[in-house]
Chains A and B, each alone.
Chain A
């Protein structure tokens, strides 16, 4: 019995002494920090995606509080969240538009020429070998580097092609930096029409390797409501993001290769065989 008592007493005493030391240390070595940082951190999404350019949400919160970075710099939080943070800190909220990523290629395994590839299943590794073994030098090689980089699981590899789901994408831009072919672009989420081709080659060269390449026939440019909605650049057409065409352009233009697509339908898998509906 005495042994048990001694043990309990000893443990209690030891605990008390250690607690005292910790308490004193906390006092002596306390680091002054702005309590607002913690509140702002809680108001941020907490995904730690790094889309803002900082090491994580807490780091970004510090930048907002101490350096006055605009909360809208966070690509993930909605405009309401950003303005809530701004209000809390007494800052002026900035308007920001939601951005989403677009993989500018529609050449899946069934529509493009590619050779069997044997090696590391990663785009950035694959490009060191024969440029990724795809017939088209510019297209998506489909080894999912972007999908792995996406903190929000918004990119899916379907039929050897990376497809962004616009409803899941928050526009953090991680995939943009990952793609070795520089295929991914951030565009305003309000635009639904995109040209899913990135090859600057001549139409005939592109057609040889890909059924769904943009062959610069300009049907879409002609069908557009106003002249500068779709512009030609080399052998590739380009959607003008300042004056975007309406989604009905896809039906009106009747793109012969279905490179002109709606992001929403593309993500839903409505273009699988590379033929427009």
Chain B
């Protein structure tokens, strides 16, 4: 593999604004009085609660167990009592069930899983079970259970670790790779062992040269390569990353394993290393809290269930009222209208966008400039599809391959008419899926 930075077709170049927090070392958030742990933190089935109101739990104890294969268990972020199992605002704006834990202040670990320091000789199946038991999901944003990705039913020859962090503003993965390169690399090696591979590749965008250098120092020891990537959004999208690193195209509607690849986020890899080496479940994560209106942007290690309001307080509050509060990055994150949403396994960033920068959507007509066609990493025609959706012609949208859309938002980013293209596609995909379900019922 050459040292030349890799890239994919299309993409956009937003101002990355990472300097706000990229030099800030990760800080451990102080213990709070209470945590509201959202139960359903993964894609797939929500885990089944095993605690009830009044139960006393220790740090790392099981709160909910996996309900099926595509589901992961959930663990207590600290020791204390279950105060209530109630609804709290979820990241998508709909209230979701959450376990409220009142901390006892002692923060004592419960019965932990056994550390496996000699993981190189442990059976891959046991390691995979450990990944599942630790409740590890894709921590880059999607929250897809990691053990499912590690159980491909097609031959896989490449393991890719996603350290691209192409979303502007976010620096959580950057700091992780810089401060704990060993954990990331060991995690990669463990994941490779689970898949029966002897190597792995970590893809990092070249705007993080210090992280690349650190990783490279250690990577060789574990037969892991580090590959720099051209700065281009959405470089960190699974399909684009595979194309850049392995030169393969994942078929529409297919999974990375259809191209012989498995992609894991670097934070997930670090969590895997922690689970295997120290026997710790996933109960905390590094999150970037940033944005121009924030007093002191930074990177924090938050426990699951930390309310956003507390996170913002830790950063000194705000200097001015922001236009938007987001969970995740500015390109794909979710806008929030409540400060009571809590940190989840996939919360890579808490971001405040000032009024001047926030996108304003209008219904100005498409002038067919073709910017969206040029930048679309999936090579579909966003302009044409959005017009089909406006006319509620979802059949036409399906014909134009709207399902291939990865919702990266590049098209809406460049559109001079400020058209809400991405929202059109989300709706079209939802409507097409609903129509399919209806068809199947018949």
Interface residue ranges, A against B (CB under 8 Å): 115, 118-122, 124-125, 128-133, 137, 201, 205
Contact = CB atoms under 8 A, between A and B. Distances in A.
**B contact residues, range:** 10 to 19
B360 A131 contact: no
B95 interface: yes
Contacts of A119: 361, 420, 423
Contacts of A118: 360-361
B356 to A, nearest CB: 15
A129 B335 contact: yes
A130 B336 contact: yes
A122 B420 CA distance: 12
B335 A130 contact: yes
Interface in B385-442: 420, 423-424, 426-427, 430-431
Given A130-B335, A137-B94, 6 more contacts: A119-B420, A120-B363, A120-B423, A121-B363, A129-B93, A130-B92
Contacts of B93: 129-133, 137
B109 interface: no
Closest 5 CB pairs of A and B: A130-B93, A115-B337, A131-B93, A131-B94, A128-B426
Nearest to B428: A125
B119 interface: no
Contacts of A122: 427
A137 B335 CA distance: 16
Given A120-B427, A128-B426, A128-B427, A133 B337 contact: yes
Contacts of B87: 201, 205
Q: Choose among B336, B360, B426 the residue with the greatest number of A CB atoms under 10 Å from its CB.
A: B426
A133 B324 CA distance: 13
A130 B93 CA distance: 4
Say what secondary structure dominates the interface of chain A.
loop
B222 interface: no
B243 interface: no
A274 to B, nearest CB: 21
Contact of A128 (B360, B363, B430): B430
Nearest to B426: A128
Contacts of B431: 124
B235 to A, nearest CB: 25
A198 to B, nearest CB: 14
Given A129-B93, A131-B94, A132-B93, A124 B337 contact: no
A122 B386 CA distance: 14
Nearest to A135: B337
A132 B360 CA distance: 17
B423 A129 contact: yes
B278 to A, nearest CB: 37
Nearest to A125: B427
B424 A120 contact: yes
Interface string B67-99: 000000000000000000001000011110000
A137 B95 contact: yes
B411 to A, nearest CB: 15
Contact of A130 (B337, B361, B426): B337
Interface string B130-149: 00000000000000000000
25 contacts: A115-B337, A118-B361, A120-B361, A120-B420, A120-B424, A121-B363, A122-B427, A124-B427, A124-B431, A125-B423, A125-B424, A125-B426, A128-B423, A128-B426, A128-B427, A128-B430, A129-B93, A129-B335, A131-B92, A131-B94, A132-B93, A133-B337, A137-B95, A201-B95, A205-B87
